[in-house]
């Protein structure tokens, strides 16, 4: 199961709703699901065109099941993304905060919805 949601409170600008833990809620309802948090940092504009400056957009994902993460990584690669394993499912709130940061930057920049994050290393 892929959790691509972001529990956002839009009052006073976008911010993560700390009172709503989506992965934990999903786990309670679907005990046997192999849950991966992914696609929540990708804007709707990037779904059809997952590149920036000719490079694949990073697809951050996290989960506790390595096989499930590999399946989601292959899906992301097939769609044109560059998967970035972001650790265990307990890191899901970090990805939600990252998504809200991107929403905020998008709202306050000239880039609009085309803003994304790309990790680079030498």
Q: Residue 22: what pLDDT?
A: 63
The pLDDT value recorded for residue 21 is 66
Torsion over CA: 99, 102, 108, 113 (sign): negative
- When pLDDT is averaged across residues 47-69 and rounded to a whole number, the result is 93
Distance CA 45, CA 68 (A): 26
Predicted TM-score (pTM) of the model is: 0.84
What digits encode the pLDDT tens for the residues 73-107? 999 999 999 999 999 999 999 999 898 888 888 77
Query: How far, in Å, CA of 1 to CA of 76, rounded?
Result: 14
All structural domains of the chain: 2-114 (3.40.50.720)
Query: Which residue in 11, 27, 9 sits closest to 90, CA to CA?
Result: 27
Helix (H) or strand (E) segment spanning residue 84: strand 82-85
Give the pair of three-digit tokens for residue 40: 């929540």
């Amino acid at each position: 199961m892929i959790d691509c949601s972001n529990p956002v409170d839009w009052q006073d600008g976008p911010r993560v709703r700390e009172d709503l833990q989506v992965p934990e809620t999903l786990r309670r309802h679907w005990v046997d699901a192999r849950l991966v948090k992914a696609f929540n940092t990708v804007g709707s504009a990037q779904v059809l065109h997952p590149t920036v400056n000719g490079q694949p957009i990073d697809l951050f994902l996290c989960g506790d099941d390595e096989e499930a993460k590999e399946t989601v990584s292959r899906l992301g690669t097939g769609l044109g993304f560059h998967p970035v394993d972001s650790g265990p499912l307990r890191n899901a709130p970090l990805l939600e905060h990252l998504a809200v940061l991107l929403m905020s930057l998008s709202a306050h920049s000239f880039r609009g919805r085309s803003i994304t994050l790309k990790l680079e290393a030498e």
